[in-house]
Amino acid sequence: MVNLSVNLAGVELKNPIIPASGTFGYGREYAELYDLDILGSFSWKGTTGEPRLGNPQPRIAEMTGGMLNAVGLQNPGIDAVVEQEVPNIAKIFHGPVIANVGGFSIDEYAENCAKLNDVEQVKILEVNISCPNVHCGGKNFGSDPRSAAEVTKAVKAVTKKPVFMKLTPNVTDIAEIARACAGAGADGLCLINTLLGMRIDLKTKRPLIANRTGGVSGPAVFPVALRMVWDVYEAVKLPIIGCGGVSSAEDAAEMMLAGASAVEVGAANLKDPYACKTIVENLPAVCERLGVTNISELTGGAHQ
């Protein structure tokens, strides 16, 4: 019997598989298809202080090996999520929930995280520092070590829940950003968010996405995500949630060998809504092939 349980900064998950923010909403659509309690956790849709309609259409485009999206953090706002979505989540999923939190200023990040202090089912705050800093010309918080550290410090000051900083890959050295977050008190890291890309419509000779650029996700980014997880595991001593192109139980095991303690599954859910369920079901056989009885033994195994 393979033990699939993992520990993330003191939070016990029955297995390491977590649907990623942005592809799972607040769980209700997937709960109509299968029992969500099979999952280790799930990261809810990126939530900001105020409601957002997101970017103009079209905001999704296909590509070989994945997709681009520029949804623009469409969400009902933190107050509506706490009042309306949280009670529904408690009915459809009974494990620990990860709250993905966005913000356009340091104060907004802190305020949003503080509002989740009394939400019992939220056990981890996943702070998305890929948001543009409106006070610094739109540069993403996660692209600058100082800004990343400032957000980390501000959030840690208002909550006792474990804080995992979600890092952008659109930087020269992701390990530098990871070290800055660790130095500011982060309890863990999640990486990677989407890579910046674009497509052009040959008929109109214009970008396919109204926003011009979008985030690249799907199997094509898996080797990039794997390399960044490896680099960050070497740089800091924090638990890592690996994310980026994971589509199978084998991918999940590979991500853990690179250094991840748990794994998020994103675009695969949009291609196959049963993707996470299938991965969880296939994990024991993969572990047996790799000769481990506790899946946590895989974490960082390729570094030895």
Q: Answer for the pair 191, 243: CB distance below 8 angstroms, yes or no.
A: yes
Marked catalytic residue, from 113, 131, 181, 287 = 131
Q: Answer for the pair 266, 212: CB distance below 8 angstroms, yes or no.
A: no
Q: Which residues contact 259 (CB under 8 A, 6 or more apart)?
A: 229, 230, 232, 233, 234, 240, 242, 299, 300, 302, 303
Q: What is the pairing mode between strands 188-191 and 240-243? A: parallel
Whole-number Cα distances in Å, 257 to 238, 252, 278, 281, 298: 15, 9, 20, 19, 5
Q: Which residue has the tokens 């590509």?
A: 63
Asked if 131 is an active-site residue, the reply is yes
- Radius of gyration (C-alpha) of the chain in whole angstroms: 18
Q: Answer for the pair 168, 132: CB distance below 8 angstroms, yes or no.
A: no
Tokens of 74: 């469409």
**DSSP letter string over 209-232?**
STTS-EEEESGGGHHHHHHHHHHH
- Tally Cβ neighbours within 10 Å of residue 27: 21
For residue 140, give the nearest of 170, 181, 172 by alpha carbon.
Answer: 170
Just list the catalytic residues: 131
